[in-house]
Amino acid sequence: MKRLFGTDGVRGIANREPMTCETTLKLGRAAAHLFKDRTGRHRVVIGKDTRLSGYMLESALTSGICSMGVDVLLVGPIPTPAIAFLTRSFRADAGVVISGSHNPFEDNGIKFFSRDGFKLPDLIERKIEKLIFSGEIDSIRPTADDIGKAYRVDDADGRYVEFVKSSFPKGLTLEGMKVVVDCANGATYKVTPTVLRELGADVIVLGDEPNGTNINLGCGSLYPAGLQNAVLAHKADVGFAHDGDGDRVVFCDEKGQIVDGDAILAACASELLKEGRLNEKKVVATVMSNLGFELAMKEMGIQVLRTPVGDRYVLEAMIREGCNLGGEQSGHIIFLDYNTTGDGLITALQVLALLQKKGEQCSDFMNCMTRYPQVLLNVKVRERHALEGIPSVRDKIRDIEKRLKGMGRVLVRYSGTESVVRVMMEGEQEESIRQMAEELAEEVQKSLG
């Protein structure tokens, strides 16, 4: 059983295990050793978001990697998907992002990309953990000129800006479009406004003054009220918000209504199908995507493939099934034609391009699915036990499924990043499904809370 890696890398409170300098250094050493699987000099790209603890962890990670005879390319604060691109662009052996994503500033995390720009599979993560916990890595110590060196890369932002713009249709601009963007005081605070302005948009920017402690603080994709107010106040055509590391995006239409990842995915899938560009006439989503999304896709003749929560599981299914579009309700959308991971800026550009080409308002474009009421409750737990092995929880789930009579869904799962059980319920009547969700949450609380 894995002891460090969760759904999306290693996560935790900065300066507490596992997000300490000591463990981060060991992670760097173990990962660098595994990535040295070819001849020649080796290089790893390291980027981060705007958290205060990023400086501390960046130094520890760099030290560990260099101690294994691997050079480090430091690119500073930059979105997570930029690391996937830069790793490929620099022909590096791997890429690393130091980021707590959408979590508050006191948290942080570390996630790795392979030389191909894909997140690491479970097998490689387990090998890294084995090297650390077995102590095997401790005796591997290059010396003299076999030790690595760290370099600063000054033009990383510019490289990523040009890469992202290459996904926007040639000959098309955003002239005449007023756009509000909330960068969450995170990793996109420079690149997203730059891209929008270079494409001709009239841009109003929020959340572009990071100070190390204000990332995701009442702003960004999890807190879109400021975005909604700004769209209405400025009479903007559209708005969108990133999370702290820029791999997700949610939209706000001209009426001030929030559009989540399900609606974005549905609208883009519909247009790609019309243009004959939706591979296999399939789209990949997770178990959290709304039932209304699946029904809308079915009416269009698009098959929905569901995966566990986590964009890397979405990506694995996309590759396996030959799909080029997939994503999560949270706003992680993967356009595999353009990047190898969820990219909030590329997703935003694809939507803006479609709005510009079709001449439609955002509210009309995104109105392609009828959402079933959905209730999500989080139950804090002391420890994790197999939920199907707890009779009271198992029996309550079966009872609720009978009451839903096939007109809804119930899903209970552990979070991959927090000590909570997530209870999700969907159905036709919000009041009734909320009551059922609360009943189930109470049973989980009694057993594990």
| Rounded-to-integer distance, Cα 238 and Cα 257, Å | 10
Structure tokens at 105: 């500033």
Measured torsion, CA atoms of residues 415, 418, 421, 424, in degrees rounded to the nearest 10: -60
| Rounded-to-integer distance, Cα 222 and Cα 242, Å | 9
Q: What DSSP designation does 398 have? A: H
Q: What residues are paired with 282 via a beta bridge?
A: 303
Q: 213 by DSSP, 3-state: which?
A: coil
Q: What DSSP designation does 119 have? A: B
Q: Which of 67, 101, 114, 270 is catalytic?
A: 101
- CB burial of 339-375 (b: ≥16 within 10 Å; e: otherwise) equals bbbbbbbbbbbbbbbbbbeeeeebeebbbbbeebbbb
| Rounded-to-integer distance, Cα 351 and Cα 257, Å | 16
* E-strand stretches of 94-253: 94-98, 107-114, 150-152, 178-182, 202-206, 238-242, 249-252
Q: What is the CA radius of gyration of the chain?
A: 22
Nearest to 24 by CA among 97, 141, 134, 110: 110
Amino acid at residue number 390: I
8 Å CB contact between 230 and 199: no
Nearest to 75 by CA among 154, 136, 141: 154
* E-strand stretches of 50-201: 71-77, 94-98, 107-114, 150-152, 178-182
| Rounded-to-integer distance, Cα 151 and Cα 392, Å | 56
Helix (H) or strand (E) holding 409: strand 409-414
114 is catalytic: no
Q: 135 by DSSP, 3-state: which?
A: coil
| Rounded-to-integer distance, Cα 242 and Cα 47, Å | 17
Structure tokens at 240: 């969108």
Catalytic site positions: 101
